[in-house]
Structures are given as structure tokens and as C-alpha cells.
């Protein structure tokens, strides 16, 4: 197996603050990895570095065998990203946006339109032809962001909180698509705070806390007696559930 | 064949602009807007463009005349200033890069392709279209006037047009950077402001003291280093051999320098990440009423946001203008302070006409909490009033320090500032509820106002300016020396009108809470 993503001793500092601290992680091609961590643990910063949106302060990152320092453009051609804030061009309509994204990946207009129509259909994305993305509901925006991340058939897909703030039906649709992608050999890395989703979807789990990797492997490998992912997560990040509020 | 990133970005720009217009105005509104634009084009823009074309023709025609040497430095200065000031205006207007750079950087496209796409897409912005059209007509006129010099004027058009687009990107990026380093700006700009305000009149006085010939000689010497001067000299036939080569190469070299600098600045724009403060915990607020709480929140929002802090620089910029260019226009007149206050009072228009913009999705909290609509509007008004009071006080002190000793004039200026603030607050409250839009707290970008708000602002500005000027004219004609009293009286009348207008705006807010939540609530 070859590595789809390899981070070696990666550190990222923002001034005094160390967001990611000497992190090393190798994700094999075709894996489906859930990246977990508390708020501010360094998950999003790690994803931003892996997608070459920001440069690491130290260490090296290889994506699909390409060193991001020297081949970031080639790497970006083969990855798909669904950022947490979705980063959509909201003054375009959905089809206009996908046309724009497809063109940026060098696709032919006919291919883009064909793929966009299929994606819209599969994801049940129904909006007026003149409706701007800014007028879409939150769930619809998530779907458009997923379409944009998929339209160029990426080999490696990063999803930052894809299930946050969406309804049950959309949730199910996205899960189905992700499983389909995994079956077709696409490597998937997702972050989520919903541990049940990660437990069901992701065969492998990476847990980050204070910018450091606390554990990486299957649930069985990591659990060592823990009954659930939640218990494992809490024990690894050292959080202790507090008692009830005295004044309530 | 796949479409190039350049075409893709340019198309997305145009689509965004068109969609925004259609969304804000509706289909019929777009037609009305088109008519307004056509009227404006016919009455203002077209005469300017035709004038520039005619000017170009006379420049071309007169190139070989013996007296051309006298006016050539002025033409060189004008053609050099064109891309500099044009790009400055375009960059500050924020028309460039309406597509978020962070989004674009995720695509597999080289930074230089993105930059090129953004560079040329900036040419589609209304201000830039007029500027580039003016430059093209100037050069076209010159080519008709002097057909033999056509290659030189084409080089001038190409290099100076591209320089204008590069300047736009440069200024846009630079404005973004300096506003992020606000503490440095707060130290540097006062120094710059005071030195400029001293330097400009000194230079003007020095220039006036010499004879016209000496002054012209100096200008002639100074403009010799400008690429446009070299081109014009070559077009006149005043140079030969290697000098022609130099004339053709220097504009491209300068353009390359400006473009490279813009590219470096833009391509290095990065997410700076979270900023952590290790200082002591801030003191918790205490207030007696909802109005006071909202006022304090508004003050806090303004004082911690970049658009709010940027408004604090306006007194300095005003001082530079008043002591520099405007001092030449209003020479010998006693009402410099009033002009300064009138000018500075317009600085915060953008935020007064979008009072919920900086709250973004926090507006949901404001509307969910049991706060009365009138407390919300009144609190915001007090917060804005306090912020504007700081700006007015700054300008007052700066004018005093820069030698403006007429206290009566200064206080009349303050009263005038208050009048403008009250009028803009009343109309602004309505506009803020009617056409809200999210403003970024840590950026000057994405602040393009809806067209309807722009028209409302221009209308309010014209009526306010006209009314206040008429008032001043009447007072100086019939009761000279009573400007302060007149402005104070007018301010009191406005204060009286404020309460019934606020009641109307409160009712309007109560009916339109949903609009605010829908428009601002979704912004993250």
C-alpha cells in the first residue's frame, strides 16, 4: 500500500501559539480516516496544511506521493476539499459555481455540466436556476460544497465537519456518497465532533489534542478496554466530564 | 478545450456583479438602474471621455510645434498620475477581487495565473472601465493628431493601462495589510499626516516664491525621469538612436516593477491564524439599562473592528487634505475648519447606513434577547455618537495643532459635523433595516453597498450638502459671524426631529426583524 497522505514532524506556529506540534501521521491510499479532537485541538490547521492552504512552520507533507513544498499545484489537482466554512462564491447560482470550480480544475464545460447535473440529482439538490448560493439553506450549501469537492473526481478527499448543521436526510445522503467513494478507492479524511458518525463510518481514527497526535488506528487497536469511541476519546484527550450544576 | 483560469475568473466576476445587481434591484430595477447609468454616462462620463479624446488630439497635433517643450512636462505628469491615482481609487473602492482569495487558492492554479485573472477582471469594474476608457481615448486622440507617433502612444496606453490595473491590486492588498497592523499605522500615520500637512504648504509657498520660469524648469527636470516623458519625447521626434530604445523599454520596466510588487503582496496574503492575547482578563461590563448595554456593545464592536478603526484615520487624512491640496483651493478663506469637519463627517457613512452589518450573525442574539426595538436603535445611536465624537475631537485637536486658531470657526465646524451625523443617523437607521448586509470585522473587503443604498446615500448627501450650504450662505450674507449659532440652532431642530423619526424607524424595525435575521443571521 502507498501513502495517500504523509505528515512528518509537522509543526505550525501562529506567533507564540503552537497550533500543531511535531505531528507525524501516515494515511494509506483507500483508507477512510476520522480525525477527532476537541475545539482548537489543531484539526482544521492540520487539514489546511494538508491541502496547502497554509504552509507548515517545520516538517514535511506528502500528498499522493507529492511533496507539497515543491509540487503543491499537482497535489491540489488530485485532492478535493470541503472546508468547514464551505468558502463558496455566494453571488453565483449553484450551476454557475460548479461551472467555475470545474473550469478551475481544467475540465471541459460539457463534462462539468454533465457531472453537475448528476451530482445535483444524486444529492437531491433542488433550487431555482436563478437562485444564488447565498439564498440556499445551510444544508443545500453543504451539498454544493460537496459537489464542488467531488466534481473533478479527486483521489483524496478532505471533509471538515461535513455533518455539522444538516438534516437527517442530507446526513444519510452524504454518508452514502462517502461510502461509495471509499468502495471506489478514494482516500477520505474527515473531521467531525459527532463521534457516533465517525464510529460508524471510519474504519480508522486519528485523535489530536493540543496539536499532537494522541492515537491512530482502528477502534479495536485503540480501545484497550474502552467500550465506546466516546470513552476512548475522553480518556485520550484527558477531559473529565464535570458534575451537575449546583444552582440548577 | 478547457477554459483558462483567467477566463474562468473573469466570467465569475461578471456573473457575480450581474447577480448582485439583479438580486438587489429585481428585473425591473435593473432596467431602471440601466437608465440611471445611461443618464449619468451621457451627462458626466461621456463629456469627460470626449474631453480627454480632444485633449489627446491637441497633444498629438501640437507635438511638433516649438512650444511643445513647455507643456510636455505637464502632459508627462498627467499621464503618469493617471494610472497612479486611477489605481489608487480602484483599489480603495474595493471593486477588485470580489472573489475571496482564500477560496481561489485552494484550486490547482498557479498563484500567477490567479493574479493575472484577478488583474484583468478588475478592468470590468465601473470606475476602472471609465479610467481605462479615458486613457484609451486620450491615446486615440493623440494618434489621430500625430499618426506617425502611433506606436509610442500604443506603448503608453498598454503600459499605463496595465500599471493602473496593477496599482489597483497593489493598493487593495496594501490597504488590507496596513489595516491588519493597526498599531503600526496609528504611529506612522500621525507622523505622516503632520509632516505632510507641514510639507505641502511649504512646498507650495516655495514654488510660488520663485518665478514661473524657474518653476517650469524644475518641473521639466523632475519629469525627465518619467517613462511617459521619454515616450512623449520620442513621439515628438526629439530623441533618436538608443534614446528611443530607452523610451520604449523604461515604461515596461516600471510596469514590470509595479506588477511584480503587486503580485508579491497579493500572493503572500495568508491566513494569519488565531491571535492570542496573554494580557490580564478584561473588566466585565456593568450598565443600568438595555440602551446603555447596546451602546457599550456598539462602541466595543466599532473600536475592535478594522472598518471602525479605519474611520479613526479620517481626521488625519482630512488634515492632510486641508493643509495640502484644499488649502490651495480655499486660499484666504476663513472657513477651512468647516470644510474639514464637513469632509470628515462623511467618513462613517458606510457604517451608519449599515448599523447591524458588524453584528453579522450576532444579530440573532440581539433579536432573541428580550430587547425592545427602540432600545436597540437608541443604543446603537449612542454608540455611534460616541465613536463619531472621538473622530470629531481628534480632528479638532489636529486642526488646533496645525495652526487653525479661529475657535469660532472650529466650533462651527463641530456643530456642522453634529448636524450631518444626526441626518445620516436618521436615514441610516432606515437603510440599515431596509438593506442590511454583513460587514467583515477584520477586513475592509466585502463592503460593497447595495445599489439602492448607494443611491440613497448620494441622495442624502446631495440634500444635506445643499441644505447646509444654503444655510451657511444665507447666514454669511445676512448675519455674518453667526455661523456657529445657525448650525447649533439647526442641530437642535434636527435633535427634535430625531425622536419622531426614531419612532418610525423603531416600528419599521419591529416589522422587519425577520429580514435582518435572514440577511445577516446566515453570515458566519
| DSSP label at residue B75 | H
Question: Is A104 near chain B, with CB under 8 Å?
Answer: yes
Among candidates A83, A100, A109 on the partner chain, residue whose Cβ is nearest the Cβ of B12? A100
CA distance B167 to B179: 18
Q: What are phi and psi of B474, to 5 degrees?
A: -60, -45
**How far from each other are the two terminal CA atoms of chain A, in whole angstroms?**
55
Is the alpha carbon torsion for A129, A134, A137, A138 positive or negative?
A: positive
Distances (CA, A) of B200 to B30, B206, B317, B404: 45, 10, 13, 16
Is the alpha carbon torsion for A98, A100, A106, A111 positive or negative?
A: positive
> Is residue B97 very low, low, confident or very high in pLDDT (cuts 50, 70, 90)?
low
Helices (H), chain A: 43-50, 68-78, 94-104, 109-122, 138-150, 168-183, 195-201, 219-223, 229-237
Residue A202 to chain B, least CA–CA distance (Å): 25
Residue B242 has pLDDT above 80, yes or no: no
Question: Is A184 near chain B, with CB under 8 Å?
Answer: no
CB contact under 8 A, B2 and A103: yes
CB contact under 8 A, B107 and A108: no
Residue of B nearest to A14 (CA): B273
pLDDT in tens, A159-185: 988 888 788 888 888 899 999 999 999
Give me the pLDDT at residue A34, please: 94
Mean pLDDT, range B284-297, rounded to an integer = 83
Residue A44 to chain B, least CA–CA distance (Å): 11
Among candidates A16, A54, A138 on the partner chain, residue whose Cβ is nearest the Cβ of B276? A16
Task: Give B-chain residues touching A15 at CB under 8 angstroms.
Answer: 273, 275-276
Beta strands A58-63 and A66-67, pairing class: antiparallel
Task: Give B-chain residues touching A19 at CB under 8 angstroms.
Answer: 273-274
Q: What are phi and psi of A215, to 5 degrees?
A: -175, 150
Residue of B nearest to A47 (CA): B106
CB contact under 8 A, B273 and A15: yes
Beta strands A79-82 and A32-37, pairing class: unpaired
Q: For chain B, what percent of residues have pLDDT higher than 90?
A: 11
CB contact under 8 A, B106 and A92: no
Query: A12: left (phi > 0), else alpha (psi -120 to 50), else beta?
Result: beta
pLDDT in tens, B411-468: 988 999 999 999 999 999 999 998 888 887 766 655 567 777 878 888 888 888 889 8
Q: Which residue has the cell 475545539?
A: A39
A165 SS3 class: coil
CB contact under 8 A, B103 and A74: no
Task: Give A-chain residues touching B437 at CB under 8 angstroms.
Answer: none
CA B506 to chain centre: 31
* Cβ under 8 Å to B: A residues 22-61: 45, 48, 51, 53-54
Task: Give B-chain residues touching A108 at CB under 8 angstroms.
Answer: 1-2
DSSP assignment string, A27-94:
EETT-EEEEEE-TTSSHHHHHHHHTTSS--SEEEEEETTEEHHHHHHHHHHHEEEE-TT----TTSBH
Give me the pLDDT at residue A206, please: 93
Mean pLDDT, range B221-237, rounded to an integer = 78
pLDDT in tens, A99-116: 888 888 888 989 999 999
Residue of A nearest to B14 (CA): A92
CA distance A160 to A178: 13
Query: A217: left (phi > 0), else alpha (psi -120 to 50), else beta?
Result: left
Q: Which residue has the cell 480516516?
A: A33
Give me the pLDDT at residue B383, please: 93
Report how many Cβ contacts below 8 Å link chain A to chain B. Answer: 92
Residue A221 to chain B, least CA–CA distance (Å): 34
Give me the pLDDT at residue B312, please: 79
Q: Which of A173, A166, A198, A203 is nearest to A30 (CA)?
A: A203
Mean pLDDT, range B26-45, rounded to an integer = 70
pLDDT in tens, B464-487: 888 988 998 898 888 888 888 999
Give me the pLDDT at residue B499, please: 92
Residue B26 to chain A, least CA–CA distance (Å): 12
Give me the pLDDT at residue A114, please: 93
Average confidence score pLDDT of chain A: 87
Give me the pLDDT at residue B112, please: 79
Q: Which residues contact B178 (CB under 8 A, 6 or more apart)?
A: B184, B185
Question: Is A156 near chain B, with CB under 8 Å?
Answer: no
CB contact under 8 A, A16 and B19: no
Q: Which residue has the cell 524644475?
A: B218
Is the alpha carbon torsion for B340, B341, B344, B350 positive or negative?
A: negative
Mean pLDDT, range B241-255, rounded to an integer = 74
Q: Which residue has the cell 516593477?
A: B257
> Is residue B523 very low, low, confident or very high in pLDDT (cuts 50, 70, 90)?
low
> Is residue A205 very low, low, confident or very high in pLDDT (cuts 50, 70, 90)?
very high
Q: Which residues contact B403 (CB under 8 A, 6 or more apart)?
A: none
CB contact under 8 A, B5 and A104: yes
Among candidates B20, B107, B273 on the partner chain, residue whose Cβ is nearest the Cβ of A104? B107
Residue A206 to chain B, least CA–CA distance (Å): 23
Residue B376 to chain A, least CA–CA distance (Å): 27
CB contact under 8 A, A105 and B107: yes
Residue A189 has pLDDT above 90, yes or no: yes
Question: Is B518 near chain A, with CB under 8 Å?
Answer: no
CA distance B111 to B262: 12
CB contact under 8 A, B103 and A14: no
Give me the pLDDT at residue B212, please: 61
Give me the pLDDT at residue B137, please: 87
CB contact under 8 A, B108 and A105: yes
Locate B306 and state its grid cell.
Answer: 478594522
Mean pLDDT, range B4-25, rounded to an integer = 77
Question: Is B16 near chain A, with CB under 8 Å?
Answer: yes
Among candidates B7, B273, B524 on the partner chain, residue whose Cβ is nearest the Cβ of A85? B524
> Is residue B524 very low, low, confident or very high in pLDDT (cuts 50, 70, 90)?
very low
CB contact under 8 A, A132 and B2: no
pLDDT in tens, B295-313: 988 988 888 787 787 777 7
Locate B128 and state its grid cell.
Answer: 476602472
Question: Is B105 near chain A, with CB under 8 Å?
Answer: yes
Residue B376 has pLDDT above 50, yes or no: yes
CB distance B505 to B433 below 8 Å: yes
Q: Which of A16, A10, A45, A55 is nearest to B268 (CA)?
A: A55
CA distance A138 to B518: 12
Average confidence score pLDDT of chain B: 78
pLDDT in tens, B102-134: 667 778 887 777 788 778 877 777 677 778 888
Residue A49 has pLDDT above 80, yes or no: yes
Question: Is B107 near chain A, with CB under 8 Å?
Answer: yes
Amino acid at each position: 500500500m502507498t501513502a495517500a497522505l504523509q505528515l512528518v514532524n509537522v509543526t505550525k506556529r501562529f506567533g507564540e501559539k503552537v497550533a500543531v506540534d511535531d505531528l507525524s501521521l501516515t494515511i494509506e491510499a483507500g483508507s477512510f480516516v476520522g480525525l477527532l479532537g476537541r475545539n482548537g485541538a489543531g484539526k482544521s490547521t492540520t487539514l489546511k496544511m494538508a491541502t496547502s492552504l497554509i504552509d507548515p512552520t517545520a516538517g514535511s507533507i506528502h500528498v499522493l506521493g507529492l511533496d507539497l513544498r515543491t509540487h503543491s499545484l499537482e497535489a491540489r489537482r488530485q485532492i478535493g476539499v470541503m472546508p468547514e466554512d464551505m468558502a463558496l462564491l455566494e453571488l453565483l447560482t449553484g450551476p454557475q459555481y460548479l461551472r467555475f470550480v470545474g473550469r478551475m480544475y481544467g475540465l471541459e464545460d460539457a463534462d462539468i455540466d454533465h457531472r453537475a447535473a448528476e451530482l445535483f440529482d444524486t444529492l437531491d439538490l433542488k433550487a431555482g436556476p436563478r437562485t444564488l448560493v447565498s439564498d440556499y439553506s445551510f444544508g443545500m450549501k453543504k451539498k454544493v460544497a460537496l459537489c464542488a469537492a467531488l466534481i473533478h473526481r479527486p483521489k483524496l478527499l478532505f471533509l471538515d465537519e461535513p455533518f455539522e448543521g444538516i438534516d437527517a436526510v442530507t446526513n444519510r445522503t452524504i454518508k452514502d456518497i462517502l461510502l461509495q467513494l471509499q468502495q471506489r478507492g478514494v482516500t477520505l479524511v474527515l473531521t467531525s465532533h459527532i463521534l457516533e458518525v465517525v464510529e460508524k463510518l471510519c474504519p480508522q481514527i486519528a485523535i489530536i489534542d493540543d496539536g499532537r497526535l494522541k492515537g491512530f488506528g482502528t477502534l479495536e487497536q485503540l480501545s484497550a478496554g474502552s467500550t465506546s469511541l466516546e470513552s476512548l476519546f475522553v480518556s485520550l484527550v484527558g477531559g473529565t466530564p464535570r458534575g451537575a450544576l449546583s444552582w440548577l | 478545450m478547457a477554459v483558462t483560469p483567467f477566463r474562468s475568473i473573469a466570467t465569475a466576476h461578471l456573473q457575480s456583479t450581474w447577480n448582485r445587481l439583479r438580486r438587489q434591484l429585481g428585473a425591473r430595477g435593473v432596467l431602471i438602474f440601466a437608465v440611471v447609468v445611461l443618464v449619468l454616462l451621457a451627462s458626466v462620463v461621456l463629456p469627460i471621455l470626449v474631453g480627454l479624446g480632444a485633449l489627446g488630439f491637441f497633444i498629438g497635433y501640437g507635438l511638433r510645434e516649438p512650444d511643445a517643450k513647455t507643456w510636455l512636462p505637464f502632459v508627462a505628469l498627467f499621464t503618469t498620475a493617471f494610472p497612479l491615482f486611477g489605481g489608487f481609487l480602484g483599489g480603495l473602492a474595493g471593486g477588485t477581487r470580489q472573489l475571496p482569495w482564500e477560496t481561489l487558492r485552494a484550486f490547482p492554479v498557479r498563484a500567477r495565473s490567479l493574479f493575472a485573472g484577478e488583474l484583468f477582471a478588475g478592468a470590468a469594474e465601473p470606475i476602472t472601465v471609465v479610467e481605462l476608457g479615458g486613457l484609451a481615448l486620450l491615446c486615440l486622440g493623440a494618434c489621430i493628431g500625430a499618426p506617425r507617433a502611433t506606436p509610442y502612444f500604443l506603448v503608453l496606453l498598454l503600459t499605463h493601462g496595465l500599471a493602473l490595473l496593477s496599482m489597483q491590486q497593489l493598493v487593495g492588498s496594501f490597504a488590507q495589510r496596513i489595516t491588519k497592523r493597526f498599531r503600526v499605522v496609528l504611529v506612522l500615520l500621525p507622523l505622516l499626516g503632520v509632516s505632510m500637512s507641514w510639507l505641502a504648504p511649504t512646498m507650495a509657498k516655495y514654488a510660488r516664491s520663485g518665478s514661473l520660469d524657474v518653476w517650469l524648469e524644475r518641473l521639466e527636470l523632475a519629469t525627465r525621469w518619467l517613462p511617459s516623458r521619454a515616450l512623449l519625447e520620442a513621439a515628438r521626434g526629439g530623441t533618436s538612436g538608443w534614446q528611443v530604445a530607452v523610451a520604449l523599454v523604461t515604461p515596461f520596466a516600471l510596469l514590470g516593477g509595479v506588477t511584480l510588487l503587486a503580485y508579491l503582496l497579493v500572493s503572500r496574503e495568508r491566513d494569519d491564524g488565531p491571535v492570542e492575547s496573554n494580557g490580564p482578563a478584561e473588566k466585565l461590563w456593568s450598565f443600568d439599562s438595555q440602551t446603555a448595554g447596546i451602546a457599550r456593545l456598539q462602541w466595543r464592536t466599532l473600536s475592535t473592528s478594522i472598518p471602525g478603526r479605519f474611520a479613526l484615520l479620517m481626521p488625519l487624512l482630512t488634515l492632510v487634505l486641508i493643509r495640502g491640496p484644499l488649502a490651495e483651493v480655499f486660499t484666504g478663506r476663513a472657513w477651512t475648519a468647516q470644510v474639514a469637519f464637513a469632509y470628515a463627517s462623511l467618513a462613517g457613512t458606510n457604517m451608519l447606513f449599515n448599523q447591524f452589518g458588524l453584528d453579522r450573525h450576532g444579530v440573532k442574539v440581539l433579536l432573541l434577547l428580550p430587547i425592545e426595538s427602540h432600545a436597540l436603535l437608541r443604543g446603537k445611536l449612542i454608540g455611534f455618537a460616541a465613536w463619531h465624537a472621538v473622530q470629531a475631537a481628534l480632528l479638532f485637536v489636529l486642526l488646533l495643532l496645525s495652526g487653525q486658531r479661529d475657535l469660532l470657526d472650529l466650533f462651527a465646524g463641530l456643530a456642522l459635523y453634529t448636524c450631518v451625523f444626526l441626518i445620516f443617523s436618521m436615514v441610516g437607521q432606515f437603510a440599515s433595516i431596509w438593506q442590511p448586509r454583513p460587514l467583515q470585522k477584520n477586513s475592509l473587503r466585502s463592503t460593497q453597498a447595495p445599489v439602492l443604498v448607494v443611491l440613497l446615500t448620494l441622495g442624502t448627501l446631495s440634500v444635506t450638502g445643499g441644505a447646509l450650504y444654503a444655510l451657511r450662505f444665507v447666514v454669511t450674507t445676512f448675519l455674518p459671524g453667526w455661523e456657529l449659532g445657525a448650525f447649533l440652532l439647526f442641530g437642535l431642530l434636527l435633535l427634535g426631529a430625531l425622536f419622531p423619526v426614531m419612532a418610525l424607524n423603531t416600528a419599521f424595525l419591529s416589522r422587519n426583524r425577520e429580514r435582518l435575521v435572514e440577511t445577516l443571521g446566515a453570515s458566519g
